[in-house]
Structure 1
Amino acid sequence: MKFTAMKKAVALTGAMAMLVGMAACGNTSSNDNAGSSNDGGKTEILVWSWDSTLPRTVEGFEAENPDIKVTVTNAGTNKDEYTALTNAIEAGSGAPDLVQIEYYALPEYQIREQIMDMSEFGADKFSDFYTPGTWSSVNLNGGVYALPMDSGPMAWFYNKEVFDKAGVNADEIKTWDQFYEAAKKIRATGSYITSDSGDAGFFDSMTWLAGAQPFETSKDGTEVSINLASDDKVATFVDFWQKLIDEDLIDTKTVGWSDDWNKGLNDGSIASLLTGAWMPYNLLSGAPDGEGKWRIAQMPTADGSTTNSENGGSSLALVKTDDKAKAEAAYKFAEYACHNAEGIKTRVDGGAFPADNDTLSSDEFLNMTALTDSDGNAHEYFGGQKFNEALAEAAANVSTGYKFLPFEVYARGVYADDAGAAYTDKSITLKDGIAAWEKNLKDFAEQQGYTVK
């Protein structure tokens, strides 16, 4: 089967810039948002999204809902959109009716009461429809504050040609200790087993994978707990990664998503990635010479147990409004794009990795062996492997319970400032860097009026 995939326009580097001032557009009130409620009897809604597959669902939705007109606008990718969204809401003008928000950033808007609980529209009945990881990410403080668009369960993408040369069988590696031994063998060939120059999103995913729970926010949003230094599961990952850094077993100099990074993936000098399930087409476009060489395995874990975490993924959330007609129209579109079978298929055919159990268990999806580029050419990039079988298994294994901070965008933006030097400066340990990051986060929380515990 062919997997038609267009490159996802989702930036997945972990370092996020601190929210800064940006002029808000429009002149309507925040409760009226930016769409109009009447255009020849139609309700108009404005959707902000950088995802390239979402606009493809508009035609099908409008055919089924001729009384609703949908405009999808790219207001910027992740941090740029969040800056515009926050400023528009706070200025009381220019906010969209529906907005794409990554899972890690969703709590910020829920705590500030800037997005709506979709339970009133029936979203609370969808618990069995979505994967555990994505469903838990949109369930916040007893409400459903978004519908999952896609998901990013972690998986191990590896260059089998390099691994074979090193005598490493990825399918036999279940623990981090085994990963460490494999890293030494890979390094002996001249390649690195993977790269990490200081990615906050990756740090979150790996500590989640280890079972850490360093962050907690009270239900009323007034108290936060930040316990990176005292969480023994955080220490499990930090100690493991420090050993790899100390022994030059991972590439810490090549920045993710840079040209040099793609070059390393292409020539095999970076031999594997621990990353989200959205990666296949990015490999096809960024490392074309790897075609036929790469495979996918399950994530090694600290103790070899079967568990997983998420890395990336987005949702669609309703911006708070008093205009019931627009809220209902915007919810209908969100449900079509994220819950309706045709809407989901349109997005998956365009390259989105699904968040729903029906797609993840369908024969059509699971039997895919080829990626299809934008010119219609099929590529068995993973050597004929039914790659979605591995990725669906990864999605089913995601644990729930990990919490993000109510200012996670800021937290990721300053991670490199506090911990980044530990990846390249031997005089600074990752433990020291994480301690500095924790202090920064606690100071920031207090400045924002939170009680820090």
Structure 2
Amino acid sequence: MKFTMKKAVAFVGAAAMLVPLAACGNSSSSTAGDSSSSDKTINLTVWSWDSTLPRTVEGFEKANPNIKVKVTNAGTNKDEYTALSNAIEAGSGAPDLAQIEYYALPEYIIRGNLENIGDLGASDFSDFYTPGTWASVHVNDGVWALPMDSGPMAWFYNKDVFDKAGVDPTQVKTWDDFYEAAKKVRATGSYITSDSGDAGFFDSMTWLAGASPFKTSSDGKTVSINLTSDDKVESFIDFWQKMISEDLIDTKTVGWSDDWNKGLNDGSIASLLTGAWMPYNLLSGAPDGDGKWRITQMPTADGSATNSENGGSSLAVIKSDDKAKVEAAYKFAEYACHNAEGIKTRVDGGAFPADNDTLKSDDFLSMTSLTDSDGNAHEYFGGQKFNEELAKAAANVSTGYSFLPFEVYARGKFGDFVSNAYTGKGKLSDGIAAWEKDLKSYAENQGYTVK
């Protein structure tokens, strides 16, 4: 289904449509043009829902004729993680590589399910990737995956609606500014944005605020969960509660629903605070917005030039005793995520890059149009060099935020505790406190020492 595909792409920070982008890279990879020294055929299985990854197989197999790669869609995010965890626990059926979002990666690192590919050469890649994506895969002196793509937060807005409200988003720097702008937008009949209780959005916004509610010890045995005692978390809760209480955001329309796309299309939802993978989803989901939308930097709590990630995923090598398979799997990961040819193939397919070379490419930065599935070009952002703004957003991502080693569980439970706040039956602070209590209880039941 078309909607399912768009939703899946959004989670990984990639594009829903095919679009020719130019990318460059100066990777010193030996993968391209360097086939394996062994004549024995090695068959690799890769689990990934990303539509751009299969496009790299042809080039990789041409350079490595004795390595055959099969990419299988085992489900999107949580569905894949459930299947992956079950297969690893059963001791059979797990793939050789898996696409894992940055928020879910710590869970597999702590469990010892992934190969430390830093020992295979990835430790030399620190300057190749953006700080935020590298920090997500480089944990406890190990490199546990390679960044596939990224999702730096940005503010996407319908200029026509904001012009009607008399607001210039490029001059909205703080959350107080955003609140004042929201009142003016609401007076036009539109909402400045929507949120019906999204855990990923909550993480991104508290990260943006400079919060650090979650920490895990280097040995993986102790977790700190301090949502209610982190003043930066509290600052976002207070801000967002005010927005909810004064009916300044649409809390009824669920993200990625048909009604949500309709709201973006007709301007009743006037903007989004979301990841850099959004352009092509807007093109397909809100076609009437063509030429009306623009992109600017995120408003922050104090107006400082900082940012966070929303979405994005990595490619990890699953732990194995088969050394030849591990080395072959790493070769594929390196080709798809670090080699210039592999990255160009994926970016040409619509992935938002995680590497600095592409983000600095003149061709990438000078783009003003999006190409739809029929090959038609659209200046959806009114001729703006939109990748320039998104590249700036990527460069501003801070690196101090940590996810829980059971973040998949945590996000799955978020809505259970905060839903009343979004329907006017409770307070967001109470919901977050209840969520914190549940997370601590879950951690203790899983054998963690909780602080």
TM-score (structure 1 length as normaliser)? 0.92
Aligned AA for 1:54?
L
- The alignment status of 1:415 with 2:435, answered yes or no, reads no
Per the alignment, residue 440 of structure 2 pairs with 442
**Shift in alpha-carbon separation, 1:294–1:83, aligned structure 2, 3 A:** same
Contact 1:154 1:309 (8 Å CA) reproduced = yes
Deviation, 1:10, is 2.9
Deviation, 1:8, is 7.7
- The alignment status of 1:85 with 2:71, answered yes or no, reads no
Contact 1:200 1:412 (8 Å CA) reproduced = yes
Per the alignment, residue 293 of structure 1 pairs with 292
- The alignment status of 1:105 with 2:107, answered yes or no, reads no
Per the alignment, residue 187 of structure 1 pairs with 186
Aligned AA for 1:329?
A
Per the alignment, residue 270 of structure 2 pairs with 271
Contact 2:39 2:66 (8 Å CA) reproduced = no
Per the alignment, residue 30 of structure 2 pairs with none
Deviation, 1:7, is 5.6
Deviation, 1:163, is 0.3
Deviation, 1:324, is 0.6
Per the alignment, residue 400 of structure 2 pairs with 401
- Give the Cα separation in 2 of the matches to 1:7 and 1:368: 22
Per the alignment, residue 17 of structure 1 pairs with none
Aligned AA for 1:439?
K
Aligned AA for 1:58?
V
Per the alignment, residue 383 of structure 1 pairs with 382
Per the alignment, residue 391 of structure 2 pairs with 392
> Alpha-carbon deviations, 1:22-75, whole Å to 9, x = none?
xxxxxxxxxxxxxxx9x9821111110000000000001111111111111101
Contact 2:196 2:253 (8 Å CA) reproduced = yes
SS of residue matched to 1:10: helix
> Alpha-carbon deviations, 1:85-115, whole Å to 9, x = none?
0000000000000100000000000000000
Give the gaps of 5 or more residues in structure 1.
1-5, 14-36
Per the alignment, residue 214 of structure 2 pairs with 215
Per the alignment, residue 235 of structure 1 pairs with 234
**Shift in alpha-carbon separation, 1:411–1:279, aligned structure 2, 3 A:** same
What is the 5 A alignment of 1:30-109? Answer: 41-109=40-108
SS of residue matched to 2:238: helix
Contact 1:132 1:400 (8 Å CA) reproduced = yes
TM-score (structure 2 length as normaliser)? 0.92
- Give the Cα separation in 2 of the matches to 1:261 and 1:375: 24
- Give the Cα separation in 2 of the matches to 1:213 and 1:261: 31
Contact 1:9 1:52 (8 Å CA) reproduced = no
Per the alignment, residue 144 of structure 2 pairs with 145
Give the gaps of 5 or more residues in structure 2.
13-35
Per the alignment, residue 339 of structure 1 pairs with 338
Per the alignment, residue 22 of structure 1 pairs with none
What is the 5 A alignment of 1:16-31? Answer: none
Q: What percent of counterpart residues are identical?
A: 81
Aligned AA for 1:440?
D
Aligned AA for 1:443?
S
- Give the Cα separation in 2 of the matches to 1:235 and 1:318: 38
- Give the Cα separation in 2 of the matches to 1:142 and 1:260: 45
- Give the Cα separation in 2 of the matches to 1:422 and 1:9: 27
> Alpha-carbon deviations, 1:280-308, whole Å to 9, x = none?
00000100000000000000000000000
- Give the Cα separation in 2 of the matches to 1:255 and 1:224: 32
> Alpha-carbon deviations, 1:354-408, whole Å to 9, x = none?
0000000000100011110111111111011010000000000000010000000
Aligned AA for 1:335?
E
Runs of 4+ in 1 over 2 A off after TM superposition: 6-13
Contact 1:11 1:77 (8 Å CA) reproduced = no
Deviation, 1:12, is 3.1
Aligned AA for 2:356?
N
Contact 2:10 2:311 (8 Å CA) reproduced = no
Aligned AA for 1:406?
P
- Give the Cα separation in 1 of the matches to 2:157 and 2:204: 18
Aligned AA for 2:97?
L
Deviation, 1:208, is 0.1
Per the alignment, residue 21 of structure 1 pairs with none
- Give the Cα separation in 2 of the matches to 1:181 and 1:444: 39
> Alpha-carbon deviations, 1:158-188, whole Å to 9, x = none?
0000000000001001000000000000000
